[in-house]
């Protein structure tokens, strides 16, 4: 114990909080009443890396964010990931209910039942948190499409795959907002810093381009039109089905499954060859489609904008 000073009180009292320590050292001078030769340990756990400490104390939560972690033991990787998933799920619920503009980190922390500073331990900003959320949504969607093809290789046909993508969008309000560029839900996220629609920034156009190449290489799509025309056709028709028409009166919209069937029929009639592919061709094409989807998932999984320690 340092003479004339109670460290816990000194650290936590609003009137007698210590000055921020030098995060590059493991000790600092006693802030009150101690001799010049006596030092006390830095008032934050060694489980917080120095670079993360430097960042935390510059944020709006500032020193409080560090103090909130003082008594928390170092979390295991599993517990860390579980907490991150809880934060993402809370952010997702609020995004759907309120829209990006109205959601605050305070509300996310409250719904996830954690401290606000803990959110900043995982993501430096609200924007990076939601960017990862959007990446996760697309990653999950591609995983569902992949599972369908693994069970039934014919699901790799252009009309079947596009139909399944549409159904995923119809069932998932976040995925639908991303593909439609819904600014009411996504707010500033709808257009990225580089000026691109978020769906393009997430790599959907690149994925579609590679899928069309695979389908053409295996003879599943006609070659009477250029690949660029086919990519545009799929993108425009899919987007139109997702956003819906403007002439249909409210209450007369078709159910999602029926709309999905119409979309599949449109793609099949416009782009697929008339001949039914044999089993060997279909199997080979399915394997290449699966590889293309896996590569897209790897890109999404490897681009998480987490804090340095995560």
Q: Please tell me the distance from the alpha carbon of residue 200 to that of residue 188, in angstroms, as a whole number.
A: 15
What confidence category does residue 73 fall into, taking pLDDT thresholds of 50, 70 and 90? Answer: very low
Domain presence at residue 13: yes
Domain presence at residue 310: no
Q: Please tell me the distance from the alpha carbon of residue 203 to that of residue 68, in angstroms, as a whole number.
A: 38
Domain presence at residue 130: no
39 and 54 together in one domain: no
Partner residues linked to 28 by β-bridges: 40
91 and 192 together in one domain: no
Picking from 99, 124, 149, the residue at the C-terminal end of a domain is 124
CA 165 to mean position of chain CA atoms: 18
User: pLDDT tens across 259-272, in order?
Assistant: 999 999 999 999 99
157 and 228 together in one domain: yes
**pTM for the predicted model, two decimal places:** 0.73
Domain presence at residue 306: no
Q: How far is CA 304 from CA 36, 166, 176, 299, in A?
A: 45, 25, 21, 9
285 and 151 together in one domain: yes
| 13 or 225: which leads in pLDDT | 225
60 and 81 together in one domain: yes
User: pLDDT tens across 94-148, in order?
Assistant: 999 999 999 999 999 999 999 999 999 999 999 999 999 999 999 999 999 999 9
H-helix or E-strand spanning residue 282: helix 279-301
**Counted domains in the chain:** 3
Q: Please tell me the distance from the alpha carbon of residue 227 to that of residue 223, in angstroms, as a whole number.
A: 8
Domain presence at residue 132: no
146 and 278 together in one domain: yes
Q: Indicate whether 50 pLDDT > 90.
A: no
Domain presence at residue 261: yes
User: pLDDT tens across 212-226, in order?
Assistant: 999 999 999 999 999
Q: Indicate whether 84 pLDDT > 70.
A: yes
Q: Please tell me the distance from the alpha carbon of residue 256 to that of residue 50, in angstroms, as a whole number.
A: 51
38 and 53 together in one domain: no
Looking at the chain, the whole-number percentage of residues with pLDDT higher than 70 is 73
Q: How far is CA 202 from CA 53, 138, 254, in A?
A: 31, 8, 29
Q: Across the chain, what does the average pLDDT equal? A: 80
- For the beta carbon of residue 96, count every other beta carbon within 10 angstroms: 13
Domain containing residue 83: CATH number: 1.10.10.60
229 and 277 together in one domain: yes
Domain presence at residue 240: yes
Q: Which of 120, 101, 124 is nearest to 109 (CA)?
A: 120
- For the beta carbon of residue 233, count every other beta carbon within 10 angstroms: 16
145 and 289 together in one domain: yes
Looking at the chain, the whole-number percentage of residues with pLDDT higher than 90 is 62
80 and 227 together in one domain: no
| 56 or 261: which leads in pLDDT | 261
32 and 65 together in one domain: no
Domain range spanning residue 37?
A: 1-43
Domain presence at residue 301: no
118 and 149 together in one domain: no
Domain containing residue 286: CATH number: 1.10.357
């Amino acid at each position: 114990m340092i003479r004339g000073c109670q460290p816990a009180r000194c650290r936590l009292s609003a009137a007698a909080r210590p000055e921020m320590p030098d995060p590059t050292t493991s000790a600092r001078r006693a802030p009150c009443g101690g001799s010049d030769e006596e030092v006390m340990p830095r008032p934050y756990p060694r489980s917080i890396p120095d670079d993360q400490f430097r960042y935390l104390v510059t944020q709006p939560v500032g020193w409080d964010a560090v103090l909130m972690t003082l008594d928390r033991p170092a979390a295991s990787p599993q517990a860390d990931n579980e907490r991150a998933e809880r934060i993402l799920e809370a952010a997702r619920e609020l995004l759907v209910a309120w829209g990006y503009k109205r959601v605050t980190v305070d509300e996310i922390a409250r719904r996830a039942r954690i401290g606000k500073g803990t959110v900043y331990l995982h993501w430096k900003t609200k924007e990076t948190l939601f960017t990862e959320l959007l990446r996760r949504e697309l990653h999950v969607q591609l995983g569902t499409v992949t599972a369908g093809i693994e069970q039934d290789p014919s699901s790799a046909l252009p009309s079947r795959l596009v139909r399944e993508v549409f159904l995923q969008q119809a069932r998932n309000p976040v995925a639908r907002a991303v593909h439609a560029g819904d600014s009411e839900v996504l707010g500033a996220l709808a257009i990225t810093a580089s000026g691109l629609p978020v769906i393009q920034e997430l790599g959907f156009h690149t994925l579609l381009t590679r899928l069309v190449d695979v389908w053409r290489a295996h003879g599943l799509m006609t070659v009477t039109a250029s690949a660029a025309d086919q990519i545009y056709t799929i993108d425009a028709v899919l987007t139109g089905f997702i956003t819906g028409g403007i002439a249909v009166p409210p209450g007369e919209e078709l159910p999602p499954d029926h709309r999905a069937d119409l979309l599949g029929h449109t793609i099949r009639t416009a782009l697929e060859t008339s001949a039914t592919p044999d089993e060997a061709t279909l199997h080979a094409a399915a394997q290449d489609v699966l590889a293309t989807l896996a590569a897209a998932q790897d890109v999404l999984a490897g681009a998480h904008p987490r804090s340095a320690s995560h």
